[in-house]
Amino acid sequence: MLTLRSAYYDDMIPNWRMAPVAVESNILILVVQGKLVYSINHSIITAEKGDLVYIPKGTFRSAENDGGTPHRKYSALFDHSFPVGCVPLFDNNRFTKKRITNIDYVAKRFEALHREMREEKPMHRFVATGIIQELAGIASRESESTGISPTKWLLAEKMQRYIREHYRQPLNINELAGLILRSPNYTISLFKEVTGQTPGQYMQQLRIAEARNLLLGTDFTITEIADYLGFYDTSYFYRTFKKATSMSPSAFIAMRER
């Protein structure tokens, strides 16, 4: 079981710092711009854009901007009672820092988490808890990517940004390949090497994330949402959504109407 306590967004705060203290909840952090320096149990660690940081409850921690330059990051504080072996991120109760390959999607989920907790709409804690569990799952299966050149990272980020801006439209691999001036086969291979997903899988993640928001936060019908997100075939949307979330769109509609 996981209980979300709070969520924060630090947006370029001058002279930002955290006093040395043993943290009272587990913390999951995504750095989206700049750098910051942590002292974790008296060891100095730098976190920068693309780093997903897990600080377990009881860790003695302090932090500050790196060199005085402000940063942007999302933070979520939570408690959990998962047994060892259930969620690898929580095993061994130790500080973890991972380089995230799918930063655009993860940042969007943190943004949604922060918005739910800030706006406090009906069912906001239920929805926010689902998001933090998803993020813990992503962190658990991510591993530090090694041997990937900076050029590949830049090309993958360029493709991710393009897909994020056009995710409601049919995915055209030839257009994606033209964007980075590579062949279609190489484009798919590079994208999967860096992100761990195919371009199509990444696009579907974005669509399902937006579908959750629309099902809970609007009065759109399921057919309207499927059409808006580019599925066009409502039955296919049903199958895709249930496979990704283990719930049908109708179940999400029911939560909205409670």
Query: Tell me: the pLDDT tens digits for 10-32?
Result: 999 988 988 889 999 999 999 99
Separation between Cα atoms, residue 81 and residue 231, nearest integer Å: 38
Check residue 148 and give its pLDDT: 65
Check residue 193 and give its pLDDT: 83
Separation between Cα atoms, residue 59 and residue 94, nearest integer Å: 8
- List domains and CATH numbers for the chain: 2-141 (2.60.120.280), 145-258 (1.10.10.60)
Binning pLDDT at 50, 70 and 90, where does residue 145 land? very low
> pLDDT by residue (tens digit) across 96-135?
888 877 788 899 999 999 999 999 888 999 999 999 999 9
Nearest to 22 by CA among 63, 78, 60: 60
Nearest to 4 by CA among 124, 94, 137, 84: 124
Check residue 60 and give its pLDDT: 92
Please check the confidence at residue 143 and state whether its pLDDT lies above 50.
no
Other C-beta atoms closer than 10 Å to the C-beta of 165 total 9
3-state helix, strand, coil in the chain (%, to 5): 50, 25, 30
Q: List the beta bridge partners of residue 74.
A: 9, 30
Beta strands in the chain (DSSP E): 2-11, 17-22, 26-33, 35-40, 43-48, 51-55, 60-65, 72-80, 96-99
Please check the confidence at residue 34 and state whether its pLDDT lies above 50.
yes
> pLDDT by residue (tens digit) across 181-215?
999 999 999 998 877 789 999 899 889 888 988 88
Binning pLDDT at 50, 70 and 90, where does residue 257 land? low
> pLDDT by residue (tens digit) across 43-75?
888 888 888 999 999 999 999 998 778 999 999
Separation between Cα atoms, residue 72 and residue 189, nearest integer Å: 31
Helix intervals (H) in 47-102: none
Four-residue CA torsion sign, 136, 142, 144, 149:
negative
Please check the confidence at residue 144 and state whether its pLDDT lies above 60.
no
Residue of higher predicted confidence among 240 and 84 = 240
Q: List the beta bridge partners of residue 21.
A: 61
> pLDDT by residue (tens digit) across 146-188?
456 767 877 888 898 899 899 999 999 999 999 999 999 999 9
Separation between Cα atoms, residue 70 and residue 12, nearest integer Å: 5
Check residue 28 and give its pLDDT: 96
Other C-beta atoms closer than 10 Å to the C-beta of 236 total 11
Separation between Cα atoms, residue 24 and residue 69, nearest integer Å: 27
By residue count, the chain amounts to: 258
Separation between Cα atoms, residue 203 and residue 166, nearest integer Å: 9
Q: 53: helix, coil or strand?
A: strand
